[in-house]
Structure 1
C-alpha cells in the first residue's frame, strides 16, 4: 500500500483566474492525494476576458514526461485529464491511460458550455475526445458536453427523470462505468448534478443551490474533489455530493464579496472544509 496516492493531472496552467491546475493541485493535496502536474500549456491568465493572453504550448512536454515516468518506473493511481488544446494532446492522454491500465482513468471532457462549443475546439477534436471518453472509467461532462458526446442537438429545456437516466446510460455505453453530468435542470425545476454507476446499476442526483453568477474553474474544482474522494474510498454518490457542497460553499462565499467573476471563486476561504470529514447524506436516487 502506498501511503499517499498519486494523480497524473493533465491540464493547462493559468497563472491568474483560479482554474485548471491552479485549483486542481491544492484541492488534491488538501484531500491527501499527491498532485503530479502535467501542464499542456502555460497561460498568463485564463482566456475568459483578460484580453490577449500570453500562452506557451507544452504538447511535446506531455509526451516527453510520459517517457521519463516510464523510464524511472513511476506509478500512478489515477490519470485525470481536463481542457486540451489539440488533437495531438488528446492522443497523448490516451497514451497515458494505456501506459497505466490499473490507474483510475478520469476524463473531464472540456469542450463547451451554455450550448456552445469552445472556439478552440474543432469537429476533429470533438471526435477525438469521444475516443478518450471511451477509454475512461469516469467522465464528468456538463450539460452541453453531454449532448456533444451523444451527438445530439443541444436542448435547453428541463429533462424528465427518464430522459436524464437515458442520457446517463448512453454516455456509459460509450465506455466509462461511472458518469456524472453537472448542471442538469430537471422537470421538477431543480438544478442537479446527476450520476450513473454501472457497477451497481444505480442512478443518483444531488440538488444544487442556485446563485446568479458564473465563475471559471468550477468544473475543475468539482472533478478534482470527485477524484480525491473516490481514491479515498467514497462511493460515487458521496463523492458527487462532497464536490457539490464544497462548490456551494465557495460560490456563495465569493458571491457575497461581490468580486469580479473573472477572478474565479475564493478557493482559499473554503479549502479547510475539505479536511473536516463532513457526514454527507443529501444524495438521492434518481
Structure 2
C-alpha cells in the first residue's frame, strides 16, 4: 500500500506568473499528496498581462504515450485531474488517457473563459469539443461563465439560483455528474459557490469582498483535489478550498506587487503544515 495518494495532473505549465501546475503542485505536496505533472502546454508566462508568451503545444501523442507507459509499468493513480488543454486536438488524447484508467476518479476543470466570454484563444468550437469530456468526469469545476459556454446559452449575471439550477440540469443532460460552480453571485455576494451533488443544490456565499488574482482557480482546484483524495466529502473539500483561497488573497493584498504575478500562495502554504 502506498504511503501517499497519487494524482495525475493534465494541465499547462507556466514559467512565470503563478498559475496552473505551478500553483497546484506545491499545494498538493504540502497536503501530503503526490502530484504527477503531465503538461498539456508549455508557456513562458500565463496569458494575462504578459503580452504574447512563448508557447509550445504538447502533441496528443505524448499524452497517449504517457498513458501507455504508465500502464506498462503498473502505475496507478488515485485521481486524474484535467485542466487547461489549449486546443481541440487534445480532447481525444485526454479521453484516451482516461480510458486507460477506467476505475480512477476524474475531476475536470473546463477552463475556457470568464466574465461572460471566452478567453482570447478559444471559441464555440472548443466548448463543443469540451462537452465530449463531460461524461468521463466524476466532478466538474466550471465557473459560471463556463457553464453558459458549455451549454451554449447566452451569459447573464443573475442572483436567481433557479436559473443556475437549470444550468446544472442542462449540464447533466450533456453527461456531467456532480459539479462545483464558482463565481456565482447572490445579493451582496459576487463570488459564491454552488455545490451540485446527487441532484442536491447548495449555495455557499461569502460576504467578504476580496480582490481578483491570476491563479486563484488553480489554487482552489489544488486544495479541492487534495482534500477529496484524502477522504473528505465534496462539501468539506469545497469549504477547505474556499478558506485557503481567501487566506491567500488576504495575504496577497498585504503587498504591493504586479497583479499579473498571480496569487501569493507561498506565505500561506506554511499555515497548512
TM-score with structure 1 length normalisation? Answer: 0.89
Q: Contact 2:124–2:149 (CA<8 Å) still a contact in 1?
A: no
Return the alpha-carbon distance in structure 2 between the equivalents of residues 102 and 19 of structure 1. 29
Kindly state the Cα deviation for residue 102 of structure 1 after the two structures are TM-superposed: 1.1
Q: Does 1:139 align with 2:140?
A: yes
For 1:8 and 1:80, the matched residues in 2 are separated by: 6
Structure 1 contact 105–138 (Cα < 8 Å) conserved: yes
Change (3 A) 1:172 1:32: farther
Alignment of 1:187-266 (within 5 A): 188-191=187-190, 192-198=192-198, 201-208=199-206, 209-211=208-210, 213-266=211-264
Q: How many residues end up aligned between the 2 structures?
A: 270
Distance in 2 separating the partners of 1:42 and 1:145: 23
For structure 1, the residue ranges without an aligned partner over 5 or more in a row are 276-286
Say whether the 8 Å CA contact 1:42–1:57 is kept in structure 2. Answer: yes
Unaligned runs of at least 5 residues, structure 2: none
The secondary structure found in structure 2 opposite 1:53 is coil
Deviations 1:77-125 (A, max 9, x none): 1110111111121211111111111111110000101111112113222
Corresponding residue SS for 1:15: strand
Residue 61 of structure 1 deviates from its aligned partner by: 2.5
Q: Is the 2:135–2:177 Cα contact (8 Å) retained in structure 1? A: no
Structure 2 counterpart of 1:177:
177
User: Given that residues 13 and 20 in structure 1 are in contact (C-alpha distance below 8 angstroms), is that contact kept between their aligned partners in structure 2?
Assistant: yes
Q: What SS does the aligned partner of 2:89 have?
A: helix
CA shift at 1:4, angstroms?
A: 1.3
Deviation at 1:165, TM superposition (A): 2.5
Q: Deviations over 1:195-253 (max 9, x none)?
A: 1111xx43222223222x32111111111211111111111111111111111111111
| Alpha-carbon distance between aligned partners in 2 of 1:152 and 1:110, rounded to the nearest angstrom | 17
Q: What is the distance in 1 between the residues matched to 2:117 and 2:248? A: 26
Q: Which moved more, 1:88-97 or 1:12-21?
A: 88-97
Instruction: State the distance in 2 between where 1:228 and 1:81 align.
Output: 14
- Shift, 1:175, TM fit: 2.7
**TM-score calculated relative to the size of structure 2:** 0.94
Instruction: Check whether the contact 1:109–1:140 (CA below 8 A) recurs between aligned residues.
Output: yes
